[in-house]
Amino acid sequence: GWFAGRNLAISQVTTKYLLWVDDDFIFTSNTKVEKLMDILEKTTLDLVGGAVREKTGFVTTFRHQISVERGGEEGDCLHTRMGHYHALHGFPSCVVTDGVVNFFLARTDKVQRVGFDPRLTRVAHSEFFIDGLGILHVGSCDDVTVDHASKIKLPWSKADENEKTYKEFRYPKSSEANIQLKHGLFYSKNRFKCMVKN
């Protein structure tokens, strides 16, 4: 699975921090990685995300809170909702949260400790942060942005002849088997009997 590849990649990192980005992100003058590093140096956070800007102008941080409601012998309930807990003192535009978009700077040792479940593939970004509950202290800054070489087609743009082939490999559909595996792992690994998204 792709996440086994992520584990291999992070196992090779020898620096104090690692920067996680998608292959189709574009750095601009607003991609202030030095601000993210300053936050990690001056706070107890282990991972701090930025924001991703689409070519339409839409910007997302994918900030979400994750909590576990303790249940009985049958298992616990996972709750996720968009949002954050509080502002990060001393860093305007930054907050404390549990999960962020796929653009972040993190302490290498903490990311290696959490790791990525090798049985999962594309449908598992949030699972990294779920596995990091109690291990990762996470923040997010909406003024540190990276542009996305987006798959969004604007009405006036022309279609590239190789685009269809690229999309089949870059954005494969999640099979029912992959979704069932993900849900099975939620129960067997985390003992989640239910999941609630707000």
Contact between 114 and 131 (Cβ < 8 Å): yes
- pLDDT band at residue 90 using 50, 70 and 90 as cut-offs: very high
| pLDDT over 90, % of the chain | 60
Q: Residue 26, CB half-sphere, CA atoms under 13 Å: how many?
A: 8
Does 122 score more than 80 pLDDT? Answer: no
Q: Please, what's the b/e burial string for 116-125 (b: 16 or more CB within 10 A of its CB; e: otherwise)? A: bbeebbeebe
Indicate the pTM of the whole model. Answer: 0.85
How far is the C-alpha of 44 from the C-alpha of 90, rounded, in Å?
13
3-class SS shares of the chain: helix, strand, coil, % to 5:
30, 30, 45
Average pLDDT over residues 52-80: 92
Does 39 score more than 80 pLDDT? Answer: yes
Does 100 score more than 80 pLDDT? Answer: yes
* pLDDT reported for residue 156: 60
Least confident of 40-44, 148-152, 164-168, 180-184: 164-168
Average pLDDT over residues 55-80: 92
- AA letter at 147: D
Higher-confidence position of 183 and 36? 36
Element at 196 (helix H, strand E): strand 192-197
Average pLDDT over residues 35-61: 96
Distance from first CA to last CA of the chain, Å, rounded? Answer: 29
